[in-house]
Amino acid sequence: SLGYVVRKVNIQRFGDSYTVDIGQIVATICNMQGAKAGFSYDERFIVTHHYEEDGTANLFLYDMQTQQVRKITDMPAGERALFPHFRSDGWIYFTVKDGTKEFAAASDAAVILAQ
């Protein structure tokens, strides 16, 4: 992906069905590449992973208030930080994989930036 478009979802109920309108664009984030993005519970931050040319994958955090992207991991060659997910307290959990091992890790980058 070369960026993201954040849209407002408007839902109206009509009897037993709904109409869904996603035509209103709230934000366009052009300066951040990555895979499936995850929103923080307060909707201030977006986190995603992105594969680098050397085969590593790092996590990137976008701050909706300041419109800045921060690289929050610096994985060594052959290792990938993948599938970030926000907890309700602002911590980010993610998976780290290398050629033979896989384990869970966490980052408080969003918590620190929010202070």
For residues 34-49, give the mean pLDDT: 88
Concatenating the DSSP letter of every residue in 28-70 gives EE-S---SS-EE-TTSSEEEEEEE-TTS-EEEEEEETTTTEEE
For residues 88-115, give the mean pLDDT: 93
Number of helices followed by number of strands (H, E) in the chain: 1, 9
pTM comes to 0.80
For residues 39-61, give the mean pLDDT: 91
Q: Which residue has the tokens 């060594």?
A: 76
